[in-house]
Amino acid sequence: MKIRFSDSPPANVRLYARILNQGDMPSDLDAALVDGANAARFKGSAGQVFETFAMQDDGLRWIALAGAGETDATGRRLNIEKAGAALAAKYLLSGESDMVLDLGHADLSGVEAAAALFGLRLRSWRLDTYRTKLPADKRPSLETIHVVGAPEGTNEAWTEAEAIARGVEFTRTLVTEPANKLYPESFVALCEKAFEGTGAELIVLDDDAMEKLGMGALLGVGQGSERPSRMLAIRWNGGTDGDKPTVFVGKGVTFDTGGISLKPPPGMEDMKWDMGGAGAVAGAMLAIVGRKAKANVIGVVGLVENMPDGKAQRPGDIVTTMSGQTVEVLNTDAEGRLVLCDALHWAQEEFDPARIVDLATLTGAMIIALGNEHGGMFSNDDELAGQLACAGEGVGDKLWRLPLAPAYDKLIDSPIADMKNVGPREAGSITAAQFLQRFVKKGTPWAHLDIAGMVWSTKPGHSWDKGATGYGARLLDRFVKENVE
């Protein structure tokens, strides 16, 4: 999607759109258009769209009004995003290649105007790479948005918003790609291409390097696959030299069969997005690097494929983690925490972070608890938890905090190892978080985000169609912007 700013609308564009606040009908609108909007009960509520056709001097004009909601509403910027996204959803397949978007009638700031473009850009994202027989009327046609009436500061705000949009789109691409195309090595290759020339440093560990470091838990998950495992770190030094970095860690199980503890076949195809945490971290880093954030940030992703080969680890096996702690593997389908525990320990040993946040599609229990409305959050630090919750609320990636406590921790004690990788059926998301907490060094602020219900959607949302949502990328970027820069 191309965004072009103009002083006046170009000729020969038939589709015109305006963004209006709730209850506001500018006096320059044609009376028939106003009557039609009123008859259709268009109020200008967030994401509401009214359309009509009218004859103008230059021919037929296709006119759309998109609502931005009340001017004093909580979440005003998200409502403005919804207005832009609604236009994309309505006209992406319209057959029109160009749209004129008039931003001069909703009393927007430059940042708010950029939010409308952000919503329009994100809602236009699709991955049609593998669709070879898509009918013409199902193919995206809308290519260019000609922005007129943009308030002062829109260009600058859009430059930053566009960088964030690229990050979210990268997350969606990674999450959407099928597992025969996206696996640990190809994940790394896509990141190398995406970050080329950005100034970010990429560090890659292969199986041999991880074995020398003693990452028995991560390698145990990947040993049943023909695909070698990888550890990837993306380092951005945009802050003050010597300042400890903020580190994000993502679970990157590029496909999860469950291993020997095989998952039921129905729905197993969804497990291509079990790398959603890694995708969110990679996308967030692309956004942070793209907008040249003044912060030291490192994204770490542990990449494996969990397969039931003859070499795969078995229930009852004991693995030794990089930290030296041992784990009795009771269920090979509780593999994400085995990947994360080595990634967390390596990140702390290698980078000495000021704070650390991990993201993972970790437990089905989280979907049972919170559905698809909130990601779950666990933390050893109230300030960090509050900052993440605030960042998530601001961008629409909502979080809900759940407890950590010694009573839950003892549920993962093993009679023959330091711990087991699953607890009882109850409190499954909490015991998974307790497992990870055992690998966080004392005094290090840490948060674990279980985003199992958030990275993929079976219905359209305010800035995404069915499929990958890009959840987490914006949250981490906003957290850095508000609390680290």
Cβ-contact 17, 101 below 8 angstroms: yes
* Of 392, 396, 384, 326, nearest in space to 357 by CA: 384
* Of 33, 2, 199, nearest in space to 97 by CA: 2
Q: How far does Cα 261 stand from its chain's mean position? A: 29
- CATH number for the domain formed by residue range(s) 2-151: 3.40.220.10
- How high is the pLDDT of residue 24? 87
pTM above 0.95, yes or no: yes
* Of 107, 130, 98, 105, nearest in space to 29 by CA: 105
Q: Which residues of the chain have pLDDT under 70?
A: none
Give the separation between CA 191 and CA 56, rounded to whole angstroms.
49
- pLDDT tens-digit profile of 115-133? 999 999 999 999 999 999 9
Catalytically active residues are 263, 337
Helices 110-123 and 76-91 meet at what angle, rounded to 10? 40
Token pair of 258, please? Answer: 């469950």
Dihedral pair phi/psi, residue 323, rounded to 5°: -75, -10
Q: Give the end-to-end CA distance of the chain in Å, rounded to a whole number.
A: 29
The verdict on domain 162-483 having CATH code 3.90.1720.10 is: no
**Where in the sequence of the chain do the CATH 3.40.220.10 domains occur?**
2-151
**Where in the sequence of the chain do the CATH 3.40.630.10 domains occur?**
162-483
